[in-house]
Amino acid sequence: MSYENKHTLRDGRIFLYTRNERPTYHVRLKIEGNKNYIVKSTKRRTLAEAVRVAEDLYDDLRYKVRHGLEIKPHSFNSLWLRWKAANQNLLSTHRMKYFSGTAERYFLPYFGDKYLEEISHTMIEGYWTWRINYWSSDEGISKIDNAKKSRKTRRKPYKQKLGNVAKIPAPKSLQMEQSALRQIFSWAYRNGIIQQIPEIKSPKTKKPGEVSRRPAFELHEWRQLYQYLRTWANETQQQDKTKRPHRLHLWQRRMLHNYILFMGTSGLRPNEARQLRWQDVGTIVDKNNVDQVILYISPTTKTGQRECIPLRSAKRYLDRIKTISEFQQPSDLVFCDHNGNPVENYGKTFKKVLKNSGLLEDRFGKARTIYSLRHTYATFRLLYGHANIEDLAQNMGTSPTQIYNHYRHITIRQKASEMGGKLHSDLSTKGLFF
C-alpha cells in the first residue's frame, strides 16, 4: 500500500494521506489516552475539506476519551448484543423473552447494520412507518405464509405460526416497543456508547370510530363460556371416534377449564399466573370472619411484588387443580403441564375454545385473548361488585389512571338509574322532554 499527498497536523497527531493513487483523503489519529491509532476515511477529495473533517473528528474523539466515553463505532447489532449480555440476569424471563422476540422480529431487521451515529430522529420516525405497514408488505405476508407451512421440531416444539399477528399493530404494542427502544438507548447513553438519546415516540394507530375499550365478556357471555367449558372439559366421546380425546387431552382440558375460571375471578396477568406456586397461595380471615384466599405475586413479574385478593370462588378452582395435579409441593407451579413444567401458552387452545363456543370476538369485532379474562374481572368488579377504582387498581397491580382510561364506560352503567330516570315534573309537564 502506497501513501501519497501526506500531511501532518497538531504535532503529528493528525496524519492525512491518499493511497493507491485514489483521490479520497484518509486520516490516522493518535489520541492521548488511547493506545491504538484510529484510521478513518474523511470522504473528501480536497485537502482543505479533509483537514476540516479530520480536525473535527480529532476534537470529538479527544472529548470522548477525556470523559470516559467509548470511541469505537457501534452498529445497532453490536449494541443489542452488549445490552442483552448486560441485562440478561437483571430482567425477568418473561421480560427478556419479549425484548429478544421484538428485537429479532423488528429492531434488528430495521436498525441492525446502521451505525448508532446514523440513527437520528428521522430514522426512528421511519421505523414507525415501516413497522405499522410491515405485516401488510410483501415481506410480512411471505413470513406469515412460510410460518403456516412450518412444522414443530424437537428443538422448537412451540413453532410460531404467526396466526395472531395484527395487520395494523395496536397502540399498546407500539408503546411497548417505544419503551423497549428507550431502555436500550438509555443504557447506551449511561455507558458512554452514545452522546445523545434520540427522540423515540410511537404514533397512535387508532382507526376512525374505533372503540378504545379492551375486549371483555358480558355477563351472559361469561355464563355461556362457563357452560361450554363444563361440557368440553369432561367430554369423553365425540361423534368422530378418531378424534376422541385421550387421557392426557382430558387432563389438559380440565387444567385449562380451571385456569380460565381462576383468571376470571382473580384478574391476574398471564405471566403472574404462570409464575404462581403453591407457596404463593395463602389464606387470611376477613372482617366477616370468613376465610379468604390471598395470592402473593412474584417480584419478577411486570409490576413486581404485591398481594392480590381474588373472589372467594377462586378457592374452588384451586382445589380442583389439586385433585388432578401431581405437583402440590410448596415450590411446585400451580399451572403446569403433566411433567410439572410451566405452561408456555394457553392462548392457542383458549382461542379454539372461544371459536367453538361462538365467543371469539366482542360486539365491536375485537378478538378476545387470555387477557380478556383480566378485563372481565375488572369490568365485573366495577359493575357488580361496586369496587372502588383505587382499591381495584392496587389489587390488580396497575394505576387508577389505567383503570379509569380503560373502564370508565362502566361508570355510566353504574348510574343508569340517574341517567335514564325521570326528569323534574315541571320539565315533563311543559313538554320540553319526551
pLDDT tens-digit readout, 253-285: 999 999 999 999 999 999 899 999 999 999 998
What is the mean predicted confidence (pLDDT) over 42-50?
92
Position 67 pLDDT exceeds 60: yes
How far is C-alpha 403 from the chain's CA centre?
19
Share of the chain above pLDDT 70, in %: 85
Higher local confidence (pLDDT), 211 or 176: 176
The pLDDT, as a whole number, for residue 240 is: 46
d(CA 418, CA 112): 57
From the CB of residue 51, how many other CB atoms can be counted at a distance below 10 Å?
Answer: 18
Higher local confidence (pLDDT), 362 or 71: 362
Cβ-contact 311, 301 below 8 angstroms: no
The predicted model scores a pTM of 0.63
The pLDDT, as a whole number, for residue 128 is: 94
Task: Name the class of domain 219-417.
Answer: mainly alpha
Give CA separation, 334 vs 32, 100, 331, 342, 347, in Å.
Answer: 60, 27, 9, 9, 17
**Over the chain, what is the mean pLDDT?**
85
What is the mean predicted confidence (pLDDT) over 27-49?
87
Query: Hey, what's the cell of 217?
Result: 365478556
From the CB of residue 32, how many other CB atoms can be counted at a distance below 10 Å?
Answer: 8
Higher local confidence (pLDDT), 256 or 36: 256
Query: Hey, what's the cell of 326?
Result: 401431581
What is the mean predicted confidence (pLDDT) over 103-122?
90
What is the mean predicted confidence (pLDDT) over 304-329?
93
Higher local confidence (pLDDT), 347 or 221: 221
d(CA 380, CA 217): 9
Share of the chain above pLDDT 90, in %: 47
Higher local confidence (pLDDT), 100 or 171: 100
The pLDDT, as a whole number, for residue 373 is: 95
Residue type, 12: G
